[in-house]
A and B are shown apart, each in its own frame.
Chain A
């Protein structure tokens, strides 16, 4: 039965190539719009190496210090290491905690400077390596003792290793960062800048550079971001509370400034929707806005395409009459029409999905937050882009579009009295 429907749908498609093409194109455009939004969201929130656990990570990206005496005075930047040590490290419920300073650029070179280039350096603590899941090609990360004593050990990305020495077998060799000598202890797979918390070309202990900004407002404010990994997503609310308690305890003994995290630590969703340091992020409104955009992107083409569907129906009104005369119920007929049209919608859906991937891959700078990347360029990989959820959503969007654009015409044309319908024949 369904095979016949499919055959018939195919015949219909071929009968009027131009109009079929137009409606497939219309569907593709709508699906493309929606899927671009979904895929961008996916790239920004999904778990992929080395940020494998975004769904159970909490972020403290920014911090503010309020003057106790004069509430008008605010200092807004990132965390100081003191806060990380006093409030984040003691979290009992966390699986791992770490912090890092991103955004430094250094001249990366071999000792005799026959090879040198500009690279992005992140200054981290030892816990950073357990929060994120780097894939080590050689060696291992630096440990707590190294960080404590400020030893100049470094982990480099694969690209950096290859650029410096032409191989990834570089553990034990040296690298110069802005004329300061470091020893390479590990090599990791390249990290795309889209994984912005893990990203760098070279990672070194934060204690190895004494000039990093870390001592403002009674050392509350500095240049660090903190990451807290929970054992499971259920622990997130409790971890949040625990950190807030720790901050309050610290604030109680403060004399000049109090730390204000504005509701942080943030989940990945809160982090992306955060608009100010002091304001709590509004995830609900952001999600509603996204849903509204998607609804509009679905509805407008659906309304416009229903005209096309209606004229298609009119051509087949006599066929519908015959079928009804032979005993087909209206529900059966509507089902058949929807099913037949699904072929067309799915063709458009596949095309639209392919288009949306093309758009994102060819124009990543348009839709994704890619700043200036150092040696490891911006890249997208299958882990970021492909996810059963994306395909499921694309399919759901197709079904919905199908129902919206063909449902009303089908309902209307099956309402025609049998005799009238037959009369058209």
Chain B
């Protein structure tokens, strides 16, 4: 059967040559796109390490010193700082109906554009690592968990003096190194000493990025109360989590209305209450990755539709041309089903003939590092899955394209078909 089909293909080589070349090219292009989408899909579905559902950020602004309401340092009593007033305000926010927990951080909220890196030394191993300052309740608000899936130990870990929490993955590249509780941590250059009191699950920056080690260092209430952030209150991120039953689309507006007056304290005011999901949208938009995915899906669809057009055109032409042959086959006892399978078989065999060299080309592209291997390592399994998806997609298009011409042929009466001979 296959030899017969091969001979049929060979006999029509002039036309099939075109189609073969197109299938070859398209298989490579499509595999490239499928591989990208597969990597993105796999990355997207791995755990983030935090949860922003039902969380909000409160943005604060500072009055400019030309503002008539601005309080200068001389006008304020010692200890009367914006930071101290803010901490009082946070207590009132915590008491607001439906609010579960409030936290503040510095370069620490999820989906933040600004990140900091510095060298840390743990047990004589020095690595550059992302770090952020957070209040202990940060872990509760964003549901960051330790290896056992608990949050409380992390909160406790940061409450202890000079305690720090690292995410898994620090020093992973060194097989001799093992991150474990109680280790001494040194923040290099500034020579700050901490103790590793908690290890949390890997944390990622967004759904489209790989997890990277993160150091959570404590931001103490006294630092805030001393006025460390006065005049730059927008760099202190205040976030809170509300209970699911009170969280609806009107919550932010309600909260803002109720709190606006109370939040106008010292030289600061409440600029905005934003759901964290909005910050996520902005962040993802700024990376442009979702648009890239959409563009690649659009190109993949465009290619698939064009294969469909090419296949249907070629096979239809061929059936028109070969009505006599089909009539002959029918007269000699081929059933309609057999005719159908000859047509399908031709199409799929042609694809296989094109697919084998395309596998070689694709594999070379992959080993030349032209596909992503940072988010997901390039393995045989990944190659097999993506080529499998590519093959199936093209086969679907071939079946769609062959179906109609095959049906019209099979429907011919043998006598009528023979008439073309």
Contact = CB atoms under 8 A, between A and B. Distances in A.
Interface string A17-46: 011001101100100010000000000000
A209 interface: yes
Contact of B269 (A179, A211, A300): A179
Interface residues of A, number: 40
Q: Which of B61, B66, B306 has the most CB of A within 10 A?
A: B306
Contacts of B22: 304
A363 B298 CA distance: 13
A209 to B, nearest CB: 7
Nearest to A306: B313
A308 B308 CA distance: 11
A306 B303 CA distance: 16
Contacts, number: 101
Interface residues of B, number: 39
A304 B23 CA distance: 12
Q: Per DSSP, are chain A's interface residues mostly helix, strand or loop, or mixed?
A: helix
A308 B285 contact: no
A308 B309 contact: yes
Contact of B63 (A113, A116, A178, A305): A178
A305 B305 CA distance: 11
B404 A19 contact: yes
Nearest to B64: A211
Interface in B287-339: 291, 294-295, 298, 302-303, 305-310, 312-314, 316-317, 320-321
B67 interface: yes
B269 A304 contact: no
A245 B256 CA distance: 53
A135 interface: no
A107 B269 contact: yes
A180 interface: yes
Contacts of A19: 312, 316, 404
B360 interface: no
Q: Which of B66, B310, B314 has the most CB of A within 10 A?
A: B310
A22 B291 contact: no
Q: Which of A209, A306, A366 has the most CB of B within 10 A?
A: A366
Interface string A366-406: 11000110000000000000000000000000000000000
B74 interface: no
Contacts of B63: 178-179
Nearest to A150: B66
Nearest to B256: A116
B395 interface: no
Interface in A155-201: 178-180
B51 interface: no
B282 interface: yes
A178 B269 contact: yes
A211 B316 CA distance: 72
B192 interface: no
B308 to A, nearest CB: 8
B186 interface: no
A303 interface: yes
B3 interface: no
A26 B309 contact: yes
Given A107-B272, A178-B63, A314-B317, A307 B404 contact: no
Interface string A199-214: 0000000000111000
A22 B172 CA distance: 54
Interface in A71-128: 105-107, 113, 116, 118
Contact of A307 (B264, B303, B313): B313
A367 B294 CA distance: 10
B289 to A, nearest CB: 12
B161 to A, nearest CB: 38
Given A113-B260, A211-B64, A310 B313 contact: yes
Interface string A304-340: 1111111100110000000000000000000000000
Given A311-B320, A363-B294, A366-B291, 16 more contacts: A19-B404, A29-B305, A33-B302, A106-B271, A107-B270, A118-B271, A180-B66, A300-B306, A304-B309, A307-B314, A308-B313, A308-B316, A311-B313, A314-B320, A367-B291, A372-B282
7 contacts: A19-B316, A25-B305, A178-B269, A211-B65, A300-B303, A304-B310, A366-B295
3 A-B pairs with the lowest CB-CB distances in the bound complex, closest first: A307-B313, A308-B313, A311-B317
Interface of B: 22, 59, 61, 63-67, 69, 256, 260-261, 264, 269-272, 282, 285, 291, 294-295, 298, 302-303, 305-310, 312-314, 316-317, 320-321, 404
Interface of A: 18-19, 22-23, 25-26, 29, 33, 105-107, 113, 116, 118, 178-180, 209-211, 297, 300-301, 303-311, 314-315, 363, 365-367, 371-372
